[in-house]
């Protein structure tokens, strides 16, 4: 089945999931990427039923605003019941690899504030073991080579995503060949490297709910 149709279907399932809970004063966390874009476009029809959003990237903020949906600075938000975002890979434990769109740091921050992280994906993203998709790592530019050398010691093969600057002014290293057996442990180990802002493993705080679209419809997985 066409992947775009699956993305539309899973976005619709997320809309259905949050709709009964919407309140006039509610702030919704919104992710980044093509699946999140489907969600944003469908959220537009409900824009009078909640207060506004916090976006995980400048691109999503622009798309939300183009629909007339208010976007708030996270610093002005105390409570966020839901964060809705896609993923590059997920396992059955709802541990994720994210950051294909280079927005991983803001995604992790916004997800950490939300009570529930609803991950929306098509079934091509479900894997037994994480790591076939190269792990994005956001790095302070001056630390690029030093961090790359340490990632090699951890068994990875880092590649600089040349030409890409994150919304935070940093660079991305995509790490191939990682054997991800213990995702929370690797997430901490990479975050501990000086110069790393964050990495795209969402395992210490995985998704709360995974909505997964496939040929037989959308299934809901929880931990």
34 binds ligand 5RP (CB under 6 A): yes
Write out the H or E segment, with its range, that includes residue 200. Answer: none
CB closer to ligand 5RP, 45 vs 164: 164
206 binds ligand 5RP (CB under 6 A): no
User: Of the residues 107, 116, 162, 187, which is catalytic?
Assistant: 107
Long-range contacts from 143-150, C-beta under 8 angstroms, 24+ separation: 143/194, 143/195, 143/196, 144/171, 144/173, 144/195, 146/194, 146/195, 147/173, 147/193, 147/194, 147/195, 147/196, 148/173, 150/193
Shortest Å distance, C-beta 100 to ligand 5RP: 3
Who contacts 17 (Cβ-Cβ below 8 Å, separation ≥6)?
Answer: 118, 209, 211, 220
134 binds ligand 5RP (CB under 6 A): no
In this structure, what are the phi and psi dihedrals at residue 222, rounded to the nearest 5 degrees? -125, 165
Shortest Å distance, C-beta 25 to ligand 5RP: 27
Task: Compute how many other C-beta atoms are within 10 angstroms of the C-beta atom of residue 38.
Answer: 22
- Count residues contacting ligand 5RP (CB under 6 A)? 17
CB closer to ligand 5RP, 152 vs 164: 164
Write out the H or E segment, with its range, that includes residue 100. Answer: none
CB closer to ligand 5RP, 120 vs 151: 120
Task: Compute how many other C-beta atoms are within 10 angstroms of the C-beta atom of residue 81.
Answer: 16
**Active site annotation includes 89:** no
Piece of the chain touching ligand 5RP by CB under 6 A; list 29-37, 46-54, 154-162, 191-199: 29-37
- Nearest residue to 216 via CA among 11, 4, 3, 6: 6
CB closer to ligand 5RP, 33 vs 131: 33
Applying the rule CB under 6 A, the residues between 74 and 113 that interact with ligand 5RP are 85-88, 98-104, 107
**Which residues are known to be catalytic?**
107
Interacting residues with ligand 5RP (CB under 6 A): 31-35, 85-88, 98-104, 107
């Amino acid at each position: 089945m066409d992947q775009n149709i699956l993305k539309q279907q899973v976005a619709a399932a997320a809309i259905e999931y949050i709709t009964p809970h919407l309140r006039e004063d509610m702030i919704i966390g919104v992710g980044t990427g093509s699946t999140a874009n489907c969600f944003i476009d469908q959220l537009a029809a409900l824009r009078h039923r909640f207060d506004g959003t916090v976006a995980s990237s400048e691109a999503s903020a622009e798309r939300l605003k183009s629909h007339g949906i208010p976007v708030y600075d996270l610093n002005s938000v105390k409570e966020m019941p839901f964060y809705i975002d896609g993923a590059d890979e997920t396992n059955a434990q709802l541990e994720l690899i994210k950051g294909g769109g280079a927005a991983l740091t803001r995604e992790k921050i916004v997800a950490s504030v939300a009570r529930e992280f609803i991950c929306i994906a098509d079934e091509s993203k479900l894997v037994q073991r994480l790591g076939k998709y190269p792990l994005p790592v956001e790095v302070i530019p001056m630390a690029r080579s030093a961090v790359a050398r340490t990632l090699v010691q951890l068994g990875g093969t880092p590649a600089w995503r040349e030409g890409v600057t994150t919304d935070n002014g940093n660079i991305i290293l995509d790490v191939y060949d990682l054997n991800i057996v213990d995702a929370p442990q690797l997430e901490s180990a990479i975050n501990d490297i000086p110069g790393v802002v964050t990495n795209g493993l969402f395992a210490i705080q995985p998704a709360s709910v995974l909505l997964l679209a496939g040929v037989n419809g959308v299934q809901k997985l929880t931990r």
